[in-house]
């Protein structure tokens, strides 16, 4: 009995020590235990949804929990567009840049503390360049602080029924010491994308392939180029967002419209960008074929 009790206690300890997303750590040393990778070949999870009905046309491990990386900026966009619709914000509002925002690592539009840009320009930076500094600036503008804005993000996720999603950042960057990863699933991201598409003006930002931020800034002008390689390559594609971190791998949320039909395709946590883009392209074709 004593041996059985010891074995049971050992199993409990091992279960509690398992990685949050079921991934295998690269090493068991304390210094690198957090370096495990969620990305899978060809992806962790995927989903194809018809808009606006929400009918699922394809799914594969759609409820596997992974890391959204910059895909979570779609929640930033949704909250802002909803507040604009409600009259609480205007796209002409000025967004001041704090020292915290200016210190954010790339991708960025090289914001400087005490600069100020319109909310409209910041949304282009957020969606085209996936600018982490712009994400912090708009979060502070809308929420008063990034912590408060994260509360708004999680509150909206719960309201949408994104039951397997928890946000810990406003830009999807890897967590620092003592912080936690953002968590989501392909299914939850599809829910978010459907809600974003209820605001047609969102496509103005997500369909833009190139744009200059700070165009009159001389050497400080930033030539922004979208990370979404499906724009201009896949018929009808006009969004939405890509994401990448070393742990998450490569993700994409795609929307495309053809012959009066619109689809959303989510590919979460793929091993590389070529695999991600190839699978997303295949799933767009598969989705429209199913509708035919």
* CATH number of the domain to which 151 belongs: 3.40.710.10
Residue 35: predicted pLDDT: 53
Residue 36: predicted pLDDT: 63
Residue 235: predicted pLDDT: 98
| Inter-residue contact 69 to 91 (CB < 8 Å) | no
Number of domains in the chain: 1
Across 131-193, where does the E strand assignment appear?
A: none
139 occurs within a structural domain: yes
User: Which positions of the chain have pLDDT values less than 50?
Assistant: 1-20, 22-34
11 occurs within a structural domain: no
119 occurs within a structural domain: yes
48 occurs within a structural domain: yes
Residue 5: predicted pLDDT: 44
| Inter-residue contact 164 to 63 (CB < 8 Å) | yes
pTM equals 0.88
CA dist 28 → 14, 24, 115, 174, 185 (Å): 12, 10, 45, 20, 26
Long-range CB contacts for residues 142-148, cutoff 8 Å, separation at least 24: 142/79, 142/80, 142/83, 142/89, 146/100, 146/170
Residue 81: predicted pLDDT: 98
Residue 292: predicted pLDDT: 84
Residue 287: predicted pLDDT: 98
Range of the domain at 280: 39-291
| Inter-residue contact 96 to 116 (CB < 8 Å) | yes
> Three-state DSSP class for 135?
helix
Residue 59: predicted pLDDT: 98
> Three-state DSSP class for 113?
coil
């Amino acid at each position: 009995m004593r041996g059985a009790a010891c074995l049971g206690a050992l199993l409990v300890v091992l279960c509690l020590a398992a990685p949050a997303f079921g991934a295998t750590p690269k090493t068991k040393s304390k210094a690198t235990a957090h370096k495990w990778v969620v990305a899978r070949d060809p992806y962790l999870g995927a989903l194809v949804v018809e808009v606006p009905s929400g009918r699922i046309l394809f799914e594969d491990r759609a409820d596997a929990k992974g890391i959204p990386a910059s895909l979570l900026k779609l929640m930033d966009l949704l909250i802002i567009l909803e507040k604009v619709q409600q009259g609480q914000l205007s796209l002409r509002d000025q967004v001041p840049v704090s020292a915290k925002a200016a210190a954010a690592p790339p991708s960025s539009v090289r914001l400087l503390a005490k600069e100020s840009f319109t909310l409209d320009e910041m949304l282009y930076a957020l969606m085209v360049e996936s600018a982490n500094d712009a994400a912090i600036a708009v979060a502070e503008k809308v929420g008063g602080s990034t912590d408060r804005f994260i509360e708004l993000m999680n509150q909206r996720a719960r309201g949408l029924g994104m039951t397997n999603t928890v946000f810990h950042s406003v830009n999807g960057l890897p967590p620092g010491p003592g912080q936690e990863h953002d968590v989501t699933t392909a299914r939850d991201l599809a829910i978010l994308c459907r809600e974003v598409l209820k605001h047609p003006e969102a496509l103005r930002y997500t369909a833009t392939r190139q744009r200059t931020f700070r165009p009159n800034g001389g050497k400080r002008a930033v030539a922004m180029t979208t990370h979404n390689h499906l724009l201009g390559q896949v018929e009808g594609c006009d969004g939405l967002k890509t994401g990448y971190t070393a742990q998450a791998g490569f993700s994409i949320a795609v929307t495309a419209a053809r012959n009066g039909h619109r689809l959303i395709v989510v590919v979460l946590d793929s091993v590389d960008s070529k695999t991600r883009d190839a699978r997303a392209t295949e799933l767009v074709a598969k989705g429209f074929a199913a509708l035919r």
